[in-house]
Structures are given as C-alpha cells and as structure tokens.
Structure 1
Amino acid sequence: MEAEQKKALQQKILELPHKPGVYLFKDRFDRVIYVGKARDLHRRVHSYFHPSRKIRSDPKMRALLEAVYDMDIQVVRSEAEAVLLEGRLIKEYRPRYNVSFRDDKRFLLVKVNLNEPFPRFQLTRLRKEDGCRYFGPFASSGALRKTVNLMNKLFQLRSCSPMVPTEKDYKHCLDHIIKNCSAPCLGKVDSESYRRRVLQACEFLEGKAREWIMEMEKQMQAAAEALDFEKAARLRDLLEDLRRTTTPARRFARSLPALPTPQEDLQMLASVLGLPEPPRRIECFDISNISQTHKVASMVLFQDAKPNRSAYRRYRIRTVEGQDDFACMAEVVRRRYRRLLEEGGGKPDLIMVDGGLGQLHAARKELEALGLAEIPVIALAKENEEIYRLGCSEPLVLDPSSGALRLLQRVRDEAHRFAHSYHELLFRQRITESILDECPGIDRYRKSLLLRTFGSIERLRQASLEELKAVKGIGPKLAQRVYEFLSSRREDVNGSP
C-alpha cells in the first residue's frame, strides 16, 4: 500500500500547474509537516524529489523527504499572495520542519489615524481596534518602505512624529526645503487641505495608483531616450516596488480541506470495529524482545485520541525464557490488569496489542482469566497494517487515508517508541555497570561493541578466542586480552552485568 501511495504522490507532482501557490507536505498520519511557497508550483515541488536532491541534501531535508506521504496545494494569483498565504498556514499548522514564521513575526501594515489634525502614515505589525485605518499586510517590507517614502513625496505628507507639528519641529526638518512636505507645521496648508492629500494617499495604497504608474512609465521612457540610464533604472526600481505594494492581495479564508478531528477519528474507529461507543480510553501494548538479556514491554494510554503520558507503564519480563513474544504479551497483560483490579483503576474501552493473531489470543486468554472478557481487544500487524479481531477469520484492512487507521497507527507507534526507549535505557545501564570496565584496553566503544555482539557478559565469557577475534573492531591482541581477563575473573561473572 505504501508503494501505491508513493506512486500516487509522484503522479500528483507531475500534474502540478506552472502557477504560483503554496504546497503542504503531509506525513502518513495526514499531519502537515512542511509548508512552502513557489512562483512555479510544478518546478519547485518537482525539484524536491529529483534523484540528485537526496545526495546534496542535509539530514533534515532527507528526513523531510522520507516522511512525505501526501501533499496539498493552493494556487494563488501572484508570488506576493503566496508569501502571505504561506505565513498564515505556517502559523495555523505549526509544521515541524518549518523554521520561518515560528516566532509569530507578522507582516507589515500601514496605519493612519484620520482623526488626527494632520494624519501621518506609520508602519506597524499589529492591527488594533483603535479607530485607525489599516492597509495590508504587505509581503515585501523593503518595497513597502520605499513606496511609503515615494507616497509621502508625491502628496507632500509629513514624516515627523509629533501629533501636531510646530515651528520648533520645522527647525529640525529639511523636507519642506527640498519640497517633500507641504509644511503644516508652518501653516502652509490648512487641516482640511492636508486631509484631502491624505485621502488621496489612501487611495494610492489601495491600488488606485494607475495614473501615477503611467506617469512614472513615461518619465522612465523619456529618461531612457535621453540616454539617462541611471535615472531610468531608478524609476524602473521605483515602479517595481510600487507595483509590488499596490497590487491588491486577497485575504485568505481557509479554503483547504480541514484535517479530521480526534473525535471524528474515534467515531470512525467505533464504526469500523462495531463498537457501541467511540473508545475514549485506548490502552496499547508492545514487546521489545531484541536480545536474550532484556525483554521489556510498554503500555501507553490514549485518552480522547491524545496520549496521556503520565499513565504510561513499562515492564521487564520476568517469567519468559528465550524469545517468545506470545508469552511476553500474556505476562504483561496479566500484570497490568491484575494490578488495575487490585487498585480499582478505570478500565479501557479498547485494548490493542502490537502483532497478529498469536499476540491477540495470548492477551484475550489472560483477560478472560481475570474476568475482563467484556473489554474489546484488537491487534495491529505492522507489515500490512492489518487489524485482527476475535471471531473474525480474515483481518480488517482499512484505506491508508482512513482516520481510524491513522489513529491506531499513532497509538501503536507510540507504544513501540516507549518500549524501544526503555530497552535502550537498560542497555546503556548495562554498559555503564559492566565488569568490562576493569579490563585493560577496553574503552566505552569496544565495551558497547562486545555487548551488542554477544548480548551479555555470560555469553561473552562463553565465547571462544576465535569468536572474539571475529568481532569487527576487536584486534587479535585485544581479543586475547579480553579472553584472558574474563577467564581469570570467572568467579566474578555470574551472567548478569
């Protein structure tokens, strides 16, 4: 199924349009893990999955590409709109692989208070309910600043900060002298005339600046014909900034399909399993049986489809010899629910085990012995994501996009992570406490190497000299030293580090 999904993703990438927009990469649980913008969606997204990209990419990028399971796109009208939409979606979804916009930095707005005697335009990042008029947001802060400066010059608006400028402020300002300001501080213009200039500037910011753009285009053409290329280039840059700022950008309402909610996933799970009510409390077990030395198990609890980490439990298997996953599962289920009955804790609505029919029957047998046969039990097998149920000869196979399956996968994967982390913890402790610390020439790396190869001190002590020499990273001299050391310390080694 995973191969089919990857093939479907590749086909979706091939069909992307050559238009500006935003793309959302999703993982197998349909979670948005990355949001990006593009001037050309087809070229941008296709570049991610080019074979050479994996070779050149850093570990973070490779991890992202391996996690991508599906994608959505949103086509927009311009690159500026793509920037604005990207920022909004990153704030909404908080994707784990995005770094930009994580600090909640906002795009620039232009603010003007028309209730002031001589209003002035200011840049801000926060829109307030203060009676002021706001324009934006604007995707390019550089273009916006240049446009506001140009606008102040065109309409001869003041750029000083006092609420009501006076002659004292004029002494520290040169804008009137270079004809960039109408000088309301000196009474050169009255409040009503100045207000009309401000309203014209507001229309300018709203994108009604076509006549100014046409005039600047004529000036640019005239400068080019006069071979004044510096002036023509300056006007060209001003025109580009003006267009980028005054081109209206849409305010985006959420137009992407909403992600399923946890309650919807629970409702769907109840439906596919034939449960009378959504299983609000799900407990899941996983066995980590990597070596003979430590066999461990985990139990994780999901309450209302969310992990309740304070209720997690981990177990060291006590009664099982050798690698017997069925017996390990029986032991941990027995211990968990025997204690639950003794302490009077809340019972789960659904019990889930990692594995197939063998693990399922082992768990069911222990529950029946404890008088808990009424609790529904299922098993989820990793290979084909098949759901095994009691009384059903054939496993249940759900669509990979099913919210019910994604929920079960989240629970199962969390149980596996918790069991594996416990196994790793015990292994690190075994390394730390090992008698090999006393062996001359054995550092932490070689100690870890030997224990990973043989599993325990007892098995290492039983190894022949030839078996020690065969370990990659252990030379003949060091192998001889280890062999002699363990032989001389036979009385100190009893099989547990």
Structure 2
Amino acid sequence: MTKEENEKRIERLKAIVLSMPEKPGSYQFYDSEGTIIYVGKAKKLKSRVSSYFHTEVDRFKTKVLVSKIWNLTYTVVNTEEDALLLENSLIKKYNPKYNVLLKDGKTYPSICITNEEYPRVFKTRTINKKWGTYFGPYSHVPSMYAVLELIKKLYQPRTCQIPLKGEEIRKGKYKVCLDYHIKKCGGPCIGKQSQEEYLKNISQAKEILKGNTREVLKGMKEEMMKLAEELRFEEAEEIKQKYDLIANFCAKSEVVSHTINNVDVFSITNDENTAYINYIHVSNGSINQSFTFEFKKKLEEREDELLALGIIEMRKRFGSVSKEIIVPIPIDIELEGVTITIPQRGDKKTLLELSIMNGKQYKFDRLKQKEKLNPEQKSVRLMTELQQLMKLPRLPYQIECFDNSNISGTNAVAACVVFKKLKPSKSDYRKYNIKTVSGPDDYASMKEVVRRRYERLRDENERMPDLIITDGGKGQMEVVREVVEDELQLDIPIAGLAKDNKHRTNELLYGFPPVTIGVKTDSELFHVLTRIQDEVHRFAITFHRDKRSKSALHSELDDIKGIGPKTKETLLKQFKSVKNIKEISSEELSKAVGESKAKLIREYFENKKE
C-alpha cells in the first residue's frame, strides 16, 4: 500500500468515526477482504473508536491493528452492560484475529430454576432449556451472587441435588440435611414445607430474576431505615450493599434472551429518496449479526414493498434459514416454513425496538456524512423542518430577531440581528438608540424599533424577512404584531422564544393566539433557534455597554462648538473639573486656551445658566 493510499484509507475511516453517536454499543473492524478482525465495546462509541486514529497512539499492537482496518461497522444499544454482552456474543461467533478470547472458553453465567416438582435455583454456564428456565446472562458476576444470596435468604430454596418426588416424601424416604438444622431450608423433603408454599416462594424468586424487584427493594429500604434508627449501622450497611447491587443488576438485557432462538428481525426507516432497512439475526439467544443497508427509491414504493424486498435480499446474502421473522408492519410475503411476527410486547418487541433504533441511527449518521460534504444541505434540512413545524408559507431563508437593553431606562438601546440560511449575516445587523421612550418600557421600545426597521425596508423597497423571532413570550409577540400587521399592513410570520422561571429558553411560540410548537429542547433545530436568541442578546448587551462607557466619559465641554478634544484635555488637566472651569475668571481661562476659545466657553455656560 502506498503512502497516498494509506492516507486516503485513514481519512475515509475518520469520516465514518465523525458521524458515529456518543451512545453505548459494539464496534467491528474489517480487513481488506471483509473479514472481522476485531470486536470491541464502548460506553461512548465515537470517543472510543476515534482514539484508535489519534496520531499520538504509541502502542505497537494498536498500530498494527489500525494498519489492517479497511472498514468498520457498529451496533448501538441502550446500556453499557448490553454492549458488553453483545461484544461477547460477536467474539464467540467470529473469533476475530486481534481479540483475546476468554481463557476457559466459557460464556457469562446465568441462573437456572429447574423444572422439578421442587425446583432448585443455581448458577450455570450451560444452557439447556429442557432442564428449566434461565435468567441472565450476567456480565457483572457479584450482582448475580447478590441476587442468589437474596433469594436464598428470603425463600430458602433447597440446595440438595436429590430428585424430590411428592410420593416419596409421603412415604418418608428422605432425611433432612444440615441446611434444615441451621435454618437455611424449610425441609420440604420431610413434609415440613408444603409443595404449594415452596412453589409460591419459587414464583416470587422468578419475579426478582425478571427484574420485578420494586417491592423487594422497598422492603429492603424500610428495613435499612429501621436499622439506622436503632443505630445498628453495620447491619444497615450490609443491607445497603445488597440493595445497591440488586438495583444495578435488575434491568433486563435486550441483546440476550434465552427464550428466543434463530430469529431474523427487520425494521425500516424512510426519507424522501431512500429506505434504510436494518437486519438483526438472533441465534442461541444472542445477537450475532446487525446490518443496515439502503434502498434508493425509484417510484413511490410503499414501506411494506420495500421491507419485503429487503427481507429476501438479506436472507439470501447472509444465508439465513431462520424459521421466524420479526417485522414492525404487515407484509405481503410468504416463505415456506417461516412465521412472520409483529410483536406487541415482551422480548421480541424489545428486539424490534433495538432494530428500529439502529436503523434510525444509521440514517442520521448517513445524513451527517452528507452534510459534512455539503454544509448547505444541513441548512436547507433545518429550514424545511422549521417550515413544516410552523406551517410557514415559505422557507424561512431570512430570519430577524430583536432585543432591548437598558438599566432602569438609562442609555436604552435595541438591536436587530439577521440570519440567512440559519447563519449570521453580520453586515445586516442593526443598532438602535431608543428616541421616543422614557423610562424602562420594553414593550414601547420594541414597538419603536420594529416600526423604524420595517418602515424603512418598506419605503426603500428592500427584502422583508421570512420570519421574525422575538426574544420573549406572548407579550413581546403581540406588540410586534400590532406594528407589523395593524400599523404597517405587512404579512410577516412572528414567533417567540419563551423562557421558564429559571430564565432558560424552553419553548417556541407561534400564531395568534400563540401556541407552543413541539420542538424538543435537545434537538438540532432548537439549538439553532436559541443560538439566534443568544446572538441578539449578545449584540444588544455589547451595544448598551459601549454606549454606557461613552456616556460615563462625556462632559459638558463636549457640547461646546469650537472646543475640541485637545482643548478639553488642556482645561481638565489644569483645572481638574468642569465645576472649577465654570468658577475661574475670564483672564485665567484666556491664559489657558486663548481669548477666542475662552469667549466661547464663557458664553456657553452663561447661556445655559439663563
């Protein structure tokens, strides 16, 4: 590989990394032949994968790995634990060259509840559904031991491996073991505990293992508080440690499920020109394949048609023979011996949601890649989104925003910022000194500024904005409407950015009477709108600060025609203040600046006194 080819390879990989999300997940590196050579996990995918391509990476093994990477893919999940389990599953399937395998070749442990008359509860690494029901696997082994200990303490399941039979118990064929004598077992083997009571306990243990631990945790918390009130802090701390471990562990994994085997999961995400179809394959209860591909739309194909094409294509490409396919919508397709399922709840529904999440993430990442190559595309997308949300008559190419600034009515000013294609057009910014308003009246100041702005644009036949945004809520919007619509008879959409009681912008208002437009406060569009608001606030504050500074340096000598800065400086240097200059004699003044200037100064102060 030449130096130029290597640089192009690295740049291409870096471009993929730039569009990756900061979410938990697993990433896969491929060599030039398309073989997976490394599988990793990350709490934040973008941060972790980008670290491989830093110039300061000095570990030899990492450099060797990076030199072999030709492509990379990733799968997003909801938790760090799921990322760990997904990584483990993929390593076992693909046996990548650069991954360190588990020394014992085992997987993470699970908890089994057997299918016996008197079920047992124990940890295992071997999964055989004929033996019982399995929960897990658990990547955090201390959490597994904690829940096992809790179950033993609360429900005392038997630990012996004798195949207990009800008929044999009634005949008295069994003897109790040590656990019964030390009160760790209820003695079902000799009839001291009925089968009904024993099975009820096992049923409650299953609820804990399913993650339905709210009541258990509530009881533990009450016990903890009671021990603390009795000053039995050591015992309370033991309960707290168990409480924390259970709380951390009880969330169910969505990438591993012992109830699902050999299933294909498909979902579809659309935009105007492309359909993104995500495919997940589940084998032996674990996800071992995740892939998203694009279909370029030729006509106005329906979602179900595109999804059906994707299913045929993916199953053929990956050689899938799964007997069940999970999809989000009904599709008109029949495959021999294959069941098509649209799940409404449970593990299958969770897998479908994971597939949908990966499809949406892939679409978003592709969009980001395109926008990096063509920044104009991002602006058009966001303007279109804003137009659709607010039902504007035209694309908001030019947006103008106003803000006032004063301190107790002094040095009152206002500012107008202009954004074109959602980018600041600083040559079009305007500053305004408030002329007709005395005192701190924001509404009257806003009216004056808006009137001056749009009267001038109208008279000079200049381009009007496509949208006006006020830095405030319903009150500010109304005064702007009174000027724009009632006085000037102009048809310009008006919106407002309102703040909550903590002075943080929290909603976009539009229409009369104003209604809240549903924009998520963490969305890209909302960030752009708040940037416009922050910019007008900054511009107004800066103008007000400059005016205040000039006002502080202003003196009456500045108002005298014929007295320039040098004369002013000479007078203040010699006589220290304007008050002293007023009180000195005409002779002293003439000596300092000459007769003609002294006459001007004297006449100014005499006229002012009169």
Q: TM-score range by the shorter chain?
A: 0.3 to 0.5
- The TM-score normalised by the length of structure 1 is 0.46
Kindly indicate whether structure 1 or structure 2 has the higher relative contact order, using CA contacts under 8 Å at least 6 residues apart: 1
Structure with higher Rg: it is 2
Query: If each structure's strand is expressed as a fraction of its own residues, which one has the higher value?
Result: 2
